[in-house]
Amino acid sequence: MGNAVYGLRSAPEVRAMMRQGVSAPTQGVCEGNVQANLAILPKQYAYDFLLFCYRNPKPCPILDVTDPGSPTTRLAKGADLRTDLPKYRVYESGNYVAEVTDISTYWSSDLVAFVIGCSYTFEAALLAGGVPVRHIEQGTVVPMYTSNIQCAPAGVFSGPTVITMRPIPYELVTKAVQITSRYPGVHGAPVHIGDPAHVGVDLNKPEYGGQLSEIRKGETPVFWACGVTPQAVAQKSKIPLMITHAPGHMFITDIRNEHLAAL
Examine residue 193 and tell whether it contacts a copy of itself (CB under 8 A): no
CB of residue 121 to a copy of itself, shortest distance in Å = 15
Calpha distance 155→38 (Å, rounded): 20
Examine residue 170 and tell whether it contacts a copy of itself (CB under 8 A): no
Examine residue 50 and tell whether it contacts a copy of itself (CB under 8 A): yes
CA-based nearest residue to 245, from 237, 256, 253: 253
* Binding-site member from 25, 28, 42, 184 for a copy of itself (CB under 8 A): 184
CB of residue 63 to a copy of itself, shortest distance in Å = 10
Examine residue 62 and tell whether it contacts a copy of itself (CB under 8 A): yes
Examine residue 46 and tell whether it contacts a copy of itself (CB under 8 A): yes
Nearer to a copy of itself, 29 or 39 (CB): 39
CB of residue 88 to a copy of itself, shortest distance in Å = 23
Calpha distance 141→26 (Å, rounded): 13
* Binding-site member from 117, 159, 188, 190 for a copy of itself (CB under 8 A): 188
Examine residue 28 and tell whether it contacts a copy of itself (CB under 8 A): no
Calpha distance 140→133 (Å, rounded): 11
CB 251 within 8 A of CB 115: yes
Q: Which stretch binds a copy of itself (CB under 8 A): 11-19, 184-192, 204-212, 238-246?
A: 184-192
* Count of residues near a copy of itself by CB under 8 A: 18
Examine residue 42 and tell whether it contacts a copy of itself (CB under 8 A): no
CB of residue 103 to a copy of itself, shortest distance in Å = 22
* Binding-site member from 1, 4, 197, 263 for a copy of itself (CB under 8 A): 263
Q: Interface mask (CB under 8 A) for a copy of itself, residues 129-168, using x and -?
A: -----------------------x--x-------------
Give the binding site for a copy of itself (CB under 8 A): 46-47, 50-51, 54-55, 62, 65, 67, 74, 152, 155, 181, 184, 188-189, 262-263
